[in-house]
């Protein structure tokens, strides 16, 4: 199969991944300000709350801003944004693993990090 045909087959999957890793971080980031989906403060590693210089609600709002920015970068510059999202999800998973809580969420985030990393690799081919 010619490489042009392969790219045409991959493009719909690429766009689905691009919009997923663009929109989901934006939505999750916005929710850090409203806690409609969940109370995000529950996911903070307790040892982290002991060292941050502000309350956990403020910390989660900062996290939300980072996630919103990461999602926008994915939509604008998919390769670099996807690497950022992959790293971010990996860091979240590692903090959850270190806390010993929400290990199911940690596994999910690691799987999403792998998918985001794969999106970055596909973006390099498509873009």
Reported as a single tens digit per residue, the pLDDT across 33-69 is 999 999 999 999 888 888 999 999 999 999 999 999 9
Q: What pLDDT band is residue 6 in, cutting at 50, 70 and 90?
A: confident
CA dist., res. 63 & res. 28, Å (int) = 10
**Cα dist. 96→38, 77, 127 in Å?**
16, 28, 34
Find where tokens 């809580």 sit: 101
b/e per residue, 5-33, with b = 16+ CB within 10 A? Answer: eeeeeeeeebeebbebbbebbbebbbbbe
13-19 mean pLDDT: 96
Number of domains in the chain: 1
- Reference 27, options 17, 18, 35; nearest CA is 35
Which residue range is the domain that position 38 belongs to?
Answer: 3-126
CB atoms within 10 A of CB 4: 8
Q: Please give the pLDDT value at position 1.
A: 56
């Amino acid at each position: 199969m010619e490489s042009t045909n392969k790219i045409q087959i991959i493009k719909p999957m690429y766009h689905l991944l691009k919009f997923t890793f663009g929109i989901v971080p934006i939505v999750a980031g916005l929710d850090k300000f409203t806690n409609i989906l969940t109370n995000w403060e529950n996911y903070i590693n307790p040892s982290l709350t002991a060292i941050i210089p502000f309350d956990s609600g403020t910390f989660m709002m900062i996290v939300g801003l980072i996630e919103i920015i990461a999602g926008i970068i994915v939509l604008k510059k998919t390769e670099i944004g996807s690497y950022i999202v992959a790293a971010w999800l990996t860091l979240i998973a590692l903090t959850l693993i270190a806390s010993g809580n929400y290990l199911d969420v940690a596994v999910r985030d690691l799987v999403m990090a792998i998918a985001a990393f794969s999106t970055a690799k596909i973006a390099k081919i498509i873009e």
